[in-house]
Amino acid sequence: MNSKPVRLALAAMIGWGASGCCSLCSKKAEIKIMKESFGKTQDGIAVDCYTLKNHNGVEMKAINYGATIIALKVPDQNGKLDDVVLGFDKLADYETKSPYFGCIVGRYGNRIAKGHFSLNGVTYCLATNNGPNSLHGGLKGFDKVVWQAKEMQTAAGPAVVFTRVSKDGEEGYPGDLTLKLVYTLTDKNEVKIDYTATTDKDTVVNLTNHSYFNLAGQGHGDILGHEMQINASHFTPVDATLIPTGELRPVKGTPFDFTKPITIGARITQSDEQLKFGNGYDHNWALDKDGDDLCCAARVVEPQRGRVMEVLTTEPGVQFYSGNFLDGTLAGKAGKVYKFRNGFCLETQHYPDSPNHPNFPPTILRPGQTYQTTTIYRFSTK
Ligand code: BGC
């Protein structure tokens, strides 16, 4: 039986409160998920935009090109909504010039040294698209493909589900990889991303969302005044091409110590070899956690408008990238120009180049196993 007309008639009789609550019970009315066209790719594939809203007015827009979050409006300490993620107004810009704004990167997010890894005695060769290394899944990674999408109302809030199969050999990786991503916007002002994947051959997987945040609002200058805290007493230092050396180095006494809140800008210009290699922060922090429980990875506060973002994850690491390659050449949403360090990323993940580092937590997925990770971006105010 279709219960929709009954529910609608009931709603009309008893009325819904301003908060979307039914006046007879505490159950909140569902807010419709909007789906509209976001144009066509250069290959003529239709792309849709899904708008999710919660009962606090928080709004997220995601498109099925790259499973990309293109807008995220959250309140500041005065209740004013601003869009806190960088992005573009047009699909063509995502296709041609995006430095991975808001998308999912994979099959292997972050770098693989020289584009090579070995699995079961076979060496796999990937495209090298970042100096000598392979970055974010190669030339046409998961950020540059159109996913299937479907809206879904869940107990936690409205959601959009992205699915696709990455075929055996795509970008050089072995095995058909069947992927499912669920983006849920909860009434706790959380964007929750659940990632699952299965394979029919041994492969490597490392998925993350690549949103660039500016908690003052996109286009509102640099992020150097944001206070950052990262729950990690070690990070993975890199060589000049940003490949981990394999060492897990204590952060204590270095500009990489974010165990207590400190502004991103406080030490970013210090003379430090690692900061020089990254042109700022562009490193993986090894989170202080046991196993794959969901735990707090980072907390960021923007002191002027009072927005707070907490990042929780089941992953062992987080890449904190301080937007060092933004250089003012990209005009983003509403014509805002994104200059040096105008956004930052917190990419929850396994460590970079793990397939070539047996001492790092493994990233191999085998048939019969399910890759399952969750990351939550939770917004509040001071
Ligand atoms: C990398 C940066 C890169 C950025 C955009 C980050 O994940 O660590 O080095 O510039 O993505 O591509």
Using the atom order of ligand 1, give the atom closest to the CA of residue 352.
Answer: 8
Whether ligand 1 lies within 6 angstroms of the CB of 100 is answered as yes
Share of the chain above pLDDT 90, in %: 91
User: Ligand 1 center to residue 381 CA distance, Å?
Assistant: 28
State the pLDDT at residue 122.
98
CA distances from 172 to 2, 365, 369, 370 (A): 47, 16, 21, 21
Residue-wise pLDDT for 332-378, tens only, equals: 999 999 999 999 999 999 999 999 999 999 999 999 999 999 999 99
Whether ligand 1 lies within 6 angstroms of the CB of 319 is answered as yes
Whether ligand 1 lies within 6 angstroms of the CB of 101 is answered as no
Q: Is the pLDDT of residue 26 over 90?
A: no
Whether ligand 1 lies within 6 angstroms of the CB of 281 is answered as no
DSSP letter for 354, please. Answer: G
Neighbouring residues of 110: CB distance < 8 A, sequence distance ≥ 6: 135, 136, 206, 208, 284, 319, 347, 349, 351, 352, 353
Whether ligand 1 lies within 6 angstroms of the CB of 321 is answered as yes
Query: Which position has the token pair 């995006």?
Result: 98
Contact 319, 288 (CB under 8 A): no
Mean pLDDT for the stretch of residues 274-293: 96
State the pLDDT at residue 28.
79
State the pLDDT at residue 148.
98
User: Ligand 1 center to residue 321 CA distance, Å?
Assistant: 7
| Rounded Cα distance, 143 and 129, in Å | 14
Phi, psi of 144 (to 5 degrees): -115, 20
- Note if 273 is an active site residue: no
| Rounded Cα distance, 206 and 338, in Å | 28
Q: CB neighbours (10 Å) of residue 311? A: 22
Residue-wise pLDDT for 251-282, tens only, equals: 999 999 999 999 999 999 999 999 999 999 99
pTM of the model: 0.93
Residue-wise pLDDT for 195-224, tens only, equals: 999 999 999 999 999 999 999 999 999 999
Quick one: which H or E segment has residue 9?
helix 4-14
- Given 283, 347, 350, 357, which residue is catalytic? 347
Write the residue with the smallest CA distance to atom 9 of ligand 1: 282
Please report which confidence band the pLDDT of residue 2 belongs to, taking 50, 70 and 90 as the band edges: very low
| Rounded Cα distance, 352 and 317, in Å | 9
Q: CB neighbours (10 Å) of residue 156? A: 15
Share of the chain above pLDDT 70, in %: 93
Mean pLDDT for the stretch of residues 48-69: 98
| Rounded Cα distance, 85 and 53, in Å | 16
| Rounded Cα distance, 1 and 189, in Å | 33
Q: CB neighbours (10 Å) of residue 227? A: 19
Neighbouring residues of 112: CB distance < 8 A, sequence distance ≥ 6: 126, 133, 134, 352, 353, 355, 356
* Beta strands at 157-166 and 330-331: parallel, antiparallel or unpaired: unpaired
State the pLDDT at residue 25.
55
Whether ligand 1 lies within 6 angstroms of the CB of 347 is answered as yes
The one-letter code for the residue type at 302 is E
Q: Is the pLDDT of residue 21 over 80?
A: no
Q: Around 162, how many Cα atoms within 13 Å sit in the side-chain half-sphere?
A: 27
- Given 59, 170, 190, 210, which residue is catalytic? 210
Tell me the two tokens of residue 211.
């949103």
Q: Give Cα 137 to chain centroid, integer Å.
A: 15
State the pLDDT at residue 70.
98
Mean pLDDT for the stretch of residues 65-72: 98
State the pLDDT at residue 1.
30
Whether ligand 1 lies within 6 angstroms of the CB of 325 is answered as yes
The one-letter code for the residue type at 290 is D
Quick one: which H or E segment has residue 54?
none
Q: Which of 345, 353, 348 is nearest to 376 (CA)?
A: 348
Mean pLDDT for the stretch of residues 70-96: 98
DSSP letter for 78, please. Answer: T
Contact 172, 166 (CB under 8 A): no
**Angle, CA 276 vertex, CA 133 and CA 318 arms, to 5°:** 60
Please report which confidence band the pLDDT of residue 249 belongs to, taking 50, 70 and 90 as the band edges: very high
Mean pLDDT for the stretch of residues 112-123: 98
CATH code linked to domain 34-381: 2.70.98.10
Please report which confidence band the pLDDT of residue 14 belongs to, taking 50, 70 and 90 as the band edges: very low
Q: Is the pLDDT of residue 5 over 70?
A: no
| Rounded Cα distance, 10 and 15, in Å | 8
Please report which confidence band the pLDDT of residue 24 belongs to, taking 50, 70 and 90 as the band edges: low
Mean pLDDT of all residues in the chain? 93
Domain spans of the chain, in order of start? 34-381
Mean pLDDT for the stretch of residues 136-145: 98
- Best substitution site from 206, 345, 346 to test ligand 1's pocket, by max atoms within 8 Å of Cβ? 345
The one-letter code for the residue type at 239 is D
- Cα distance from N-terminal residue to C-terminal residue, the chain: 47
Residue-wise pLDDT for 225-245, tens only, equals: 999 999 999 999 999 999 999
Is the previous residue joined to 107 through a cis bond, with omega within 30 degrees of 0?
Answer: yes
Using the atom order of ligand 1, give the atom closest to the CA of residue 278.
Answer: 9
- Strand-pairing partners, residue 199, are 177
Whether ligand 1 lies within 6 angstroms of the CB of 131 is answered as no
- Note if 283 is an active site residue: no
Contact 170, 107 (CB under 8 A): yes
- Best substitution site from 68, 94, 100 to test ligand 1's pocket, by max atoms within 8 Å of Cβ? 100
